[in-house]
Structure 1
Amino acid sequence: MGHREELLEGAKRCLLAKGFVRTTARDIVKESGTNLASIGYHYGSKDALLATAYVDLIANIGDTFGAFATADTASAPGSLERFQEAWESITRSFVKERPIWMLTFEVITNSDRLPTVREHLAKASDEGRRGLVPLLAGGSEADVDDATLRSLGGFYQVLLNGLSVQWLFDPDSATDAAELTDGLRRVIDGVTRSGS
Structure 2
Amino acid sequence: MGHREDLLEGAKRCLLEKGFVRTTARDIVKESGTNLASIGYHYGSKDALLAEAFIALVEPMGGVFEGSRAEGGAAKGSLERFREVWGGVIEAVPESRPIWMMTLEVITQGERLAGIRELLAEAQKEGRSGLAALFTGIEESELPEDLVESEGRFYTTLLNGLMVQWLFDPDSATTAEQLTEGLRRFIDRTRDEGGETGRAPGA
| Counterpart check, 1:185 vs 2:184 | yes
Cα-Cα RMSD: 1.0
Distance in 2 separating the partners of 1:126 and 1:195: 34
Distance in 2 separating the partners of 1:104 and 1:20: 9
Distance in 1 separating the partners of 2:109 and 2:3: 28
Gap regions ≥5 residues in structure 2? 196-203
**Deviation of the 1:70 alpha carbon:** 2.7
> Which one-letter code corresponds to 1:36 in the other structure?
L
| Counterpart check, 1:23 vs 2:23 | yes
Q: 1:104 is matched with which residue?
A: 103
Q: 1:64 is matched with which residue?
A: 64
> Which one-letter code corresponds to 1:88 in the other structure?
G
Q: 1:14 is matched with which residue?
A: 14
> Which one-letter code corresponds to 1:143 in the other structure?
E
Within 5 Å, give how 1:1-196 maps onto structure 2: 1-71=1-71, 73-196=72-195
> Which one-letter code corresponds to 1:22 in the other structure?
R
Q: TM-score, normalised by structure 1?
A: 0.96
Q: How many residues align?
A: 195
Distance in 2 separating the partners of 1:48 and 1:63: 24
Distance in 2 separating the partners of 1:190 and 1:178: 18
Q: TM-score, normalised by structure 2?
A: 0.93
Gap regions ≥5 residues in structure 1? none
Is 1:68–1:74's contact at 8 Å kept on the other side of the alignment?
no
> Which one-letter code corresponds to 2:152 in the other structure?
G
Once structures 1 and 2 are overlaid, which stretch shifts more, 91-100 or 181-190? 91-100
SS of residue in 2 equivalent to 1:111: coil
> Which one-letter code corresponds to 1:95 in the other structure?
P
Distance in 2 separating the partners of 1:78 and 1:42: 42
**Deviation of the 1:48 alpha carbon:** 0.6
Once structures 1 and 2 are overlaid, which stretch shifts more, 44-53 or 90-99? 90-99
Distance in 2 separating the partners of 1:92 and 1:38: 39
Is 2:75–2:81's contact at 8 Å kept on the other side of the alignment?
yes
Q: 2:198 is matched with which residue?
A: none
Is 2:69–2:88's contact at 8 Å kept on the other side of the alignment?
no
**Deviation of the 1:69 alpha carbon:** 2.3
